């Protein structure tokens, strides 16, 4: 592509974006591509997107590899452990794709950088605790809600399913409430 | 043959990787591998999350119901996210807290790790630990987990209107929100300079 055309496309993609972070696409352009991807999974496969299902599968299969006796006693994981090849799973391959697609995006835009991200005034110990503790809450909550931001909020939201909108509203309300406490950590 | 389609297990997994790649690319290119951008909305600093999310929901929702109304897609064979009112309300709220605390959600943590963020890997391990905790406590939680089962409840069934009315109201709400964000961002830029 010629230089003026490249910069015109970049300017278009960045329209509506935040000028300080012009290395990213416009959120409306990225959201449109994400929406079309979700629509394609509905149309082709009759299902939506999901990320937390793969985490649940890998946890169940991993536990079964370490301690099969204990894993077989956990009723929740029996949904995965009955299959002869549980890892041949749509949700897992989808998440492998997410990693590859995001890696391609980070490398091609030269924004790939190995780092341990934390709030400016946050100590390493605090960040270790928040990143792990927050993850535990997310993992637990996603099982209780039968999915996460992609499987319930995005997929259910687009289907106009009540589940998606309950999740979206509860997530934002609770997030704003707790952000008041965590403001000092992140800003 | 009407969509959705049937295909072999292997072809399905190949498609899953392909769809996942575009999903991951959109997340990373929107900046959603970065915990500062991901939590920015909760501190009124960066509205990328609601902009991306509501755009994607309106695009996919409009497309889904358009394809169904044009008889190009059989909605009865599309898996709808089932509603369990109280577990999803409590789960959604706890999820929001974990999101603000860690700075990621499961999909964006994967995108974060792919862009080199090692803290995202710790969040991913935490998600596994939270899942294990849920599975261990499942006997005690099961009664609550299966309670308030509303099946495949949708907003249009609940309110008793056509799905296009719901979509138009949602699109108008999202549009109003986007205008507000743009006004708020301009105001914040002016007050800084």
- Long-range contact set of residues A124-127: C-beta below 8 Å, sequence gap at least 24: A126/A185, A127/B119
Q: Among A164, A129, A136, A127, which Cα is nearest to A148's?
A: A164
User: Which positions in chain A touch B35 (Cβ < 8 Å)?
Assistant: 117, 186
The rounded distance, in Å, linking the Cα atoms of A38 and A186 is 31
Distance CA B24, CA B39 (A): 18
DSSP collapsed to 3 states, B131-167: HHHHHHHHHHHHHHHCCCEEECCEHHHHHCCCHHHHH
Interface contacts A/B by beta carbons within 8 Å: 519
User: Which residues in chain B are contacts of A31 at CB distance < 8 A?
Assistant: 26, 30, 51-56, 59
Q: CA of B48, closest CA in chain A: separation in Å? A: 6
Per-residue pLDDT reduced to its tens digit, A140-186: 999 999 999 999 999 999 999 999 999 999 999 999 999 988 776 66
Residue A120, pLDDT above cutoff 60: yes
Report in angstroms the alpha-carbon separations of B167 from A149, B60, B155, B181. 20, 11, 10, 21
pLDDT at A24 over 90: yes
Q: What's the confidence (pLDDT) of residue A2? A: 47
* Set of chain B residues whose Cβ sits within 8 Å of the Cβ of A91: 16
For the stretch B101-136, what's the b/e string if a residue is b when 16 or more beta carbons lie within 10 angstroms of its beta carbon? bbbbbbbbbbbbbbbbbebbbbbbbbbbbbbbbbbe
Q: Counting beta carbons within 10 angstroms of the beta carbon of residue B140, is it exposed (0 to 12), middle (13 to 18) or buried (19 or more)?
A: exposed
Q: What is the pLDDT of residue A18?
A: 47
* Residue B44 to residue A181: CA distance in whole angstroms: 14
Q: If residue A57 lies in a helix (H) or strand (E), which one and from where to where?
A: helix A52-66
CB B96 within 8 A of CB A144: no
The closest CB to that of A139, out of B63, B127, B163, belongs to B127
Residue of B nearest to A119 (CA): B36
Identify the closest residue of chain A to B2 by CA–CA distance: A43
The predicted structure's pLDDT at residue A145: 98
pTM beyond 0.90: the answer is yes
Beta-carbon contacts of residue A92 (< 8 Å; ≥ 6 apart): A54, A57, A58
- What DSSP state is assigned to residue A77? G
Residue of B nearest to A120 (CA): B36
- Contact residues, chain A, for B150 at CB < 8 Å: 162
pLDDT over 70 (residue A5): no
pLDDT score recorded for residue A22: 61
How do the pLDDT tens digits run along chain B, 193 residues long?
A: 689 998 899 999 999 999 999 999 999 999 999 999 999 999 999 999 999 999 999 999 999 999 999 999 999 999 999 999 999 999 999 999 999 999 999 999 999 999 999 999 999 999 999 999 999 999 999 999 999 999 999 999 999 999 999 999 999 999 999 999 999 999 988 776 5
Q: What is the pLDDT at residue B90?
A: 98
- CB–CB of A163 and B81 under 8 A? yes
Question: What integer pLDDT is reported at residue A34 of this predicted model?
Answer: 98
Model confidence band, residue A98 (pLDDT cutoffs 50, 70, 90) = very high
Using CA atoms of A33, A37, A40, A41 in order, give the dihedral in degrees to the nearest 10: -170
For A55-86, the pLDDT digits (tens) are: 999 999 999 999 999 999 999 999 999 888 99
Cβ distance A55 to B128 less than 8 Å, yes or no, reads yes
Q: B51 — phi, psi (to 5°)? A: -65, -50
Residue of A51, A157, A160 lying closest to B107 (CB–CB): A51
Q: CA separation (Å) from B7 to A44, A45, B13?
A: 10, 9, 10
In whole numbers, what is the pLDDT of chain A averaged over residues? Answer: 90
Query: Which residues in chain A touch residue B46, judged by CB atoms under 8 angstroms apart?
Result: 18
* CB B108, CB B33: distance < 8 Å: yes
HSE (side-chain half, CA atoms, 13 Å) at B35: 34
Q: Which residue of A has its CA nearest to B162?
A: A160
Model pLDDT, residue B49? 98
Q: Which residues pair with A161 in a beta bridge?
A: B154
Note whether B98 contacts A131, CB cutoff 8 Å: no
Tell whether the model's pLDDT for residue A21 goes beyond 80.
Answer: no
Q: Are B59 and B170 in contact (CB under 8 A)?
A: no
Mean pLDDT of A41-66: 97
- C-alpha atoms less than 13 angstroms from C-alpha of A176 in its C-beta half-sphere: 9
Q: Classify the phi-psi angles of A147: left when phi > 0, otherwise alpha if psi is within -120 to 50, otherwise beta.
A: left
Tell me the HSE value of A52 on the side-chain side, using a 13 A CA sphere: 33
């Amino acid at each position: 592509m010629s230089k003026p055309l490249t910069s015109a496309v970049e300017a278009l993609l960045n329209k509506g974006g935040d000028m300080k972070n012009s290395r990213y696409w416009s959120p409306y352009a990225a959201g449109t591509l994400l929406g079309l991807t979700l629509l394609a999974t509905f149309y082709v496969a009759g299902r939506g997107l999901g990320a937390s299902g793969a985490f649940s599968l890998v946890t169940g299969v991993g536990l079964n590899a370490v301690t099969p006796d204990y894993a077989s006693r956990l009723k929740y994981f029996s949904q995965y452990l009955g299959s002869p090849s549980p890892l041949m799973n749509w949700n897992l391959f989808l998440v492998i794709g997410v990693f590859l697609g995001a890696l391609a995006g980070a490398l091609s835009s030269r924004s790939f950088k190995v780092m341990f991200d934390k709030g400016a005034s946050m100590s390493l110990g605090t960040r270790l605790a928040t990143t792990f503790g927050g993850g535990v809450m997310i993992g637990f909550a996603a099982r209780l809600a039968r999915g996460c931001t992609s499987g319930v909020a995005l997929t259910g939201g687009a289907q106009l399913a009540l589940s998606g909108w309950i999740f979206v509203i509860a997530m934002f309300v609770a997030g704003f409430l707790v952000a008041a406490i965590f403001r000092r950590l992140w800003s | 043959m009407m969509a959705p389609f049937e295909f072999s297990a292997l072809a399905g997994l190949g498609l899953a990787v392909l769809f996942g790649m575009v999903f991951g690319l959109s997340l990373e290119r929107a900046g959603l591998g970065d915990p500062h951008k991901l939590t920015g909305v909760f501190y009124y600093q960066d509205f990328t999350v609601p902009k991306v999310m509501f755009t994607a929901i309106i695009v996919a929702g409009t497309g889904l119901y358009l394809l169904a109304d044009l008889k190009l897609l059989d909605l009865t064979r599309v898996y709808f996210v089932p509603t369990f009112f109280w577990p999803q309300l409590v789960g959604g709220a706890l999820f929001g807290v974990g999101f603000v605390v860690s700075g990621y959600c499961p999909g964006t943590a994967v995108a974060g790790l792919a862009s080199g963020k090692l803290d995202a890997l710790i969040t991913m391990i935490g998600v596994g630990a939270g899942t294990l905790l849920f599975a261990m406590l499942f006997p005690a939680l099961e009664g609550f987990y299966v309670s308030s089962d509303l099946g495949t409840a949708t907003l249009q069934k609940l309110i008793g209107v056509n799905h296009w009315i719901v979509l138009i109201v949602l699109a108008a709400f999202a549009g109003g929100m986007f205008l507000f964000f743009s006004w708020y961002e301009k105001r914040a830029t002016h007050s800084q300079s």
